[in-house]
Structures are given as C-alpha cells and as structure tokens.
C-alpha cells in the first residue's frame, strides 16, 4: 500500500484539483482530506457520509456550583484569568491546565474533554473518503489530521487497498507535518510565480527534513514559461523530479465549477498532463 500526499506551500495552487483527479485515476484506493480547517475535496467528490465520529481534544475546567464553597482559590491560581465572577469558567479562556481542580478544597472542579470537531467516513463515486471538520476557533488541527490519516491507513490495510491518496493542508505548520508522516511520496504542486516558488521551496524543505521523497508539479506552467524554467532549474539542482507540467485550461476551471474531477471532463492536453503525473507517481516518481 502506497501513501501519496498532494501538498503545496499555500492554498489555491490546484492541489485539490490534482488530488480529485488522482482519486478518479487511481484504482483501489482510500482518499483523505487533511485540510481540516477548510476542507474542499468534498466539493468535487460529493461524499455520502457513512459514519460520523466526534473529535475530542484538550480539556476545560467545569465547576459544580452545588459543591463550590466560593473560597476563591481557583481564581487565585488561574494564570489565564478564566474563572469569572460568580465562579464560572470562561471556556474560551481556559487552557485546560487543571491547576484549579488540584487546589479546589471542595472537589468541585472536574476537567472535561472538549468536542473540537467531527470526522467522517464517507462513500464517493471513486471510493471511500475520510474527512473532517474542525470546530470554529478550535486548535489542534494537527491532531485531527493525524486521526483521519490513521483511520484511512487502517481502512486501507484492512481492505487491502493499493493507495491512500491524501489532500494535504496548506502551509508548513503542524497539520502539514502530521499529513507528511509516513507517506511514500509528497507531490508538491506549485505555480510559476515568485511566491509560488517560495512556498514550494519551504514545503520541500519540510519534506526533506522528514526524509520524505518529493516530486514537483507545475500548475498553469504556461502563464509564465520563464519562471517555469527557473523552477525546473531549481529542482534539477536539488535532484527533485518535476513529475509534470499542467497548462492553464478553461476546461479545468469549468470542472471546478461543476464539481467534477478535471480528468473526467477535460480532453486533450490538460487531462493528458494530469494522467502523466499520476502514471509517474504510480511508477515511483
């Protein structure tokens, strides 16, 4: 079983377009959307939710008013000023350190797990999809990414799937690191712009740090052939394979609007370019 991560240093480079097309091209796979803060793979794969799970992460103090003697010790020790007048906890301000529960002489404080989001196992036309939604203003997206990755891997192993295809989160922070661990190849999608190359270089550095094999795909390569050549030179110097160049295509834009993987409705060069990338990845790009 091979785990393929599609990633880019920032959003909007065509990462999800490529992942959705991989989903349509690959046989016998599980898909994962690791962009738990702003998931969008479902807009193209149209999942039918089969199972729904709560994601619990972190703890918040809770005071039992019936037991509380209003001694004020909890407010005294709380560094985050989370104990409000009247001895109620401000759940947003509480960092869950548990100090107040330790000092409370009445045993009135319990630490309760937060429900920070949900994750789902869904069916799609192209196979199962594991995806998630982090609650508004919730943190710990790295943990949620690790959760959906683990669930997808277990499903793939149990069902003897050949691939896990992962739509990675944007950026280079904790969720990206969680999405990278244990993958066989990271497909880094970029655009031929100065910022696109900069973001690509940052994500390649992260992959290199974790000893993850990478290749690069240049999306809309023909909007700036000179910069495309610069990216190719950079990759050549670093020994990184450019697995494909996808031209700008109105058909691809239309596929996004229609919510269909690009390779399903595009003809000619754009579809051929994406198919070539998948063939390369499949064969060890």
Rounded to a whole number, what is the distance in angstroms from the first to the last CA of the chain? Answer: 16
Cβ proximity to ligand SF4: between 71 and 230 the closer is 71
**112 binding ligand SF4? (CB under 6 A):** no
Cβ proximity to ligand SF4: between 72 and 259 the closer is 72
Residue 164 and residue 180 in contact, taking contact as beta carbons nearer than 8 Å: no
Cβ proximity to ligand SF4: between 56 and 213 the closer is 56
Q: Which of 182, 239, 186, 237 is nearest to 214 (CA)?
A: 186
* Smallest separation, CB 274 to ligand SF4 (Å): 49
| Binder of ligand SF4 out of 18, 44, 100, 262 (CB under 6 A) | 100
Cβ proximity to ligand SF4: between 85 and 226 the closer is 85
* Smallest separation, CB 115 to ligand SF4 (Å): 17
Give, as ranges, the residues between 50 and 89 that touch ligand SF4 (CB under 6 A): 61, 63, 68-74, 77-78, 80, 82-83, 87, 89
Strand order in the sheet with 185-190: 48-63, 109-124, 127-134, 29-33, 163-167, 2-7, 185-190, 214-219, 241-246
The structure tokens listed for 195 are: 């910022």
Q: Which of 195, 188, 264, 272 is nearest to 5 (CA)?
A: 188
**25-42 core/surface letters (b: 16 or more CB in 10 A; e: else):** bbeebbbbbbbbbebbbb
Give, for 230, the enclosing helix (H) or strand (E). Answer: helix 225-238
* Smallest separation, CB 59 to ligand SF4 (Å): 7
Q: Quick one: which segment of 105-113, 219-227, 249-257, 259-267 binds ligand SF4 (CB under 6 A)?
A: 105-113
Cβ proximity to ligand SF4: between 75 and 177 the closer is 75
SS3 12: coil
Q: Quick one: which segment of 26-34, 96-104, 147-155, 237-245 binds ligand SF4 (CB under 6 A)?
A: 96-104
Binding site for ligand SF4 (CB under 6 A): 61, 63, 68-74, 77-78, 80, 82-83, 87, 89, 94-100, 104, 106, 108-109
């Amino acid at each position: 079983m091979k785990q393929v991560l599609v990633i880019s240093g920032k959003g909007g480079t065509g990462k999800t377009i490529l992942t959705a097309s991989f989903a349509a091209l690959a046989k016998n796979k599980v898909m994962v959307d690791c962009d738990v803060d702003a998931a969008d793979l479902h807009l193209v794969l149209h999942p039918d939710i089969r199972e729904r799970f709560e994601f619990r992460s972190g703890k918040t103090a809770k005071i039992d008013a019936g037991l509380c003697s209003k001694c004020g010790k909890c407010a005294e020790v709380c560094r985050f000023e989370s104990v409000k007048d009247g001895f109620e906890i401000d759940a947003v301000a509480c960092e869950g350190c548990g100090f107040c529960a330790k000092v409370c002489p009445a045993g009135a404080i319990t630490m309760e797990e937060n429900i920070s989001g949900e994750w789902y196992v869904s069916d799609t036309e192209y196979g199962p999809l594991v995806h998630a939604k982090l609650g508004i203003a919730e943190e710990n997206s790295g943990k949620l990414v690790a959760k959906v990755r683990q669930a997808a891997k277990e499903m793939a192993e149990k069902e003897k799937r050949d691939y896990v295809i992962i739509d990675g989160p944007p950026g280079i922070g904790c969720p990206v690191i969680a999405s990278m661990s244990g993958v066989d190849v990271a497909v880094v999608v970029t655009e031929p712009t100065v910022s696109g190359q900069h973001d690509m270089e940052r994500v390649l550095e992260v992959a290199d740090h974790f000893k993850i094999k990478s290749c690069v795909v240049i999306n809309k390569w023909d909007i700036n052939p000179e910069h495309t050549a610069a990216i190719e030179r950079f990759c050549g110097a670093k020994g990184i394979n450019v697995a494909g160049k996808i031209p700008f295509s109105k058909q691809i834009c239309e596929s996004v609007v229609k919510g269909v993987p690009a390779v399903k409705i595009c003809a000619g060069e754009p579809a051929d370019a994406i198919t070539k990338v998948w063939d390369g990845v499949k064969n060890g790009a």
